[in-house]
Amino acid sequence: MKTTHQINTLFFALLCLTASSVFMSNNVQAAKWDASMTPTEVEATLDKKFAEGKYSPKGADSCLMCHKKSEKVMAIFKGVHGSIDSSKSPMAGLQCEACHGPLGSHNRGGKEPMITFGPTSTLSADKQNSVCMSCHLDDNRMSWDSSHHANGDVACASCHSVHAEHDPILSKQTEMEVCTSCHAKQKADMNKRSSHPMKWNQMTCSDCHNPHGSMSDADLVQPTVNETCYSCHAEKRGPKLWEHAPVTENCVNCHNPHGSVNDAMLKTRAPQLCQQCHAGDGHTSNAYLGNTDMGSTVNGSAFTGGRSCLNCHSQVHGSNHPSGKLLQR
């Protein structure tokens, strides 16, 4: 029993040490008021401060008396939010308090709460986002409230870096890194053998998705999945003389747009993919075309040789040939 107790004690110590190292490595620090106030009390205090409206007459100068030693704080003056030349910048108005709320008595000891953003904030994502949306509610964000990110309680500050010269999410070279920090499954898919060129930053998530929400499925930038695909793959757009039903219905019936281990990003390799719909149609369950040894030699079956069903039905996206009823021409 004593040995077991020692092992458990050691395990707990290691767990605490690991958590402490992660905490320190992420440079995460709780606000001073978090030690004495609950999240509900913080929110109530902030609401009261806004009602009183006690802003500092000196603006950012009052804040910088304490915060100017922080590189992260001072970095805002390198970006658009800290620009004093733009009338749309917070610095042209209430400055720091435009986002962080009225100063009130915060500078008298620093324990009176201000609005904070990011993973350490005690405020809900909805409260944090209301500050951002007070300026950024435009046509591109009109569907934010119904977006996947909003419904998932994702804060703007989870993706955007305001106190920075260049916001990583707004750069084509770093957008993927930000998105895949949460979307791990999509990151795995885009590194599979067949995928869109996202891992080389030749395409980005925002080419297809609007992260701030849209009126279509999966927050796509176009009204439908097919319209989104056709914006690049125009040669697949119909109408065709002979159409293939799953193609006109939805491209993702057959393809995984984020990547696949199969050619052409197919969800399943042919003929299994084709047989999901054509299981009982004629020769689809018994390949009598091609070589007749039915697989006793390499490439001896029309189902396994080369492109499988596409050996004959090559125009699988639709045909405009008068004799292309079976999508063979």
Please tell me the distance from the alpha carbon of residue 252 to that of residue 206, in angstroms, as a whole number.
Answer: 18
Q: What is the pLDDT of residue 29?
A: 61
Average pLDDT over residues 120-149: 91
Q: What is the pLDDT of residue 195?
A: 95
Q: What is the pLDDT of residue 6?
A: 46
Average pLDDT over residues 299-310: 71
Average pLDDT over residues 149-162: 94
Question: Is residue 108 classed as helix, strand or coil in its secondary structure?
Answer: coil
Name the phi and psi angles at 90, rounded to 5: -55, -30
pLDDT beyond 80 at 15: no
Check residues 34 and 289 and name the one with the higher pLDDT.
Answer: 34
Question: With contact defined as beta carbons under 8 Å apart, do 327 and 313 qualify?
Answer: yes
% of the chain residues with pLDDT over 90: 63
Amino acid identity of residue 139, one-letter, is D
Q: What is the pLDDT of residue 102?
A: 94
Residues 175-219 pLDDT 10s: 999 999 999 999 999 999 999 999 999 999 999 999 999 999 999
Q: What is the pLDDT of residue 280?
A: 72
Q: What is the pLDDT of residue 124?
A: 92
Average pLDDT over residues 43-56: 92
Q: What is the pLDDT of residue 30?
A: 65
pLDDT beyond 50 at 137: yes
Q: What is the pLDDT of residue 296?
A: 53
pLDDT band for position 157 (50/70/90)? very high
Q: How far is CA 294 from CA 53, 276, 305, in A?
A: 83, 21, 10
% of the chain residues with pLDDT over 70: 83
pTM: 0.80
pLDDT band for position 1 (50/70/90)? very low
Q: What is the pLDDT of residue 27?
A: 47
Name the nearest CA neighbour of 67 among 34, 103, 38.
103
Q: What is the pLDDT of residue 31?
A: 79
Average pLDDT over residues 26-37: 70
pLDDT band for position 73 (50/70/90)? very high
Check residues 40 and 18 and name the one with the higher pLDDT.
Answer: 40
Please tell me the distance from the alpha carbon of residue 147 to that of residue 217, in angstroms, as a whole number.
Answer: 10
pLDDT beyond 60 at 244: yes
Count CB atoms within 10 A of the CB of residue 114: 21
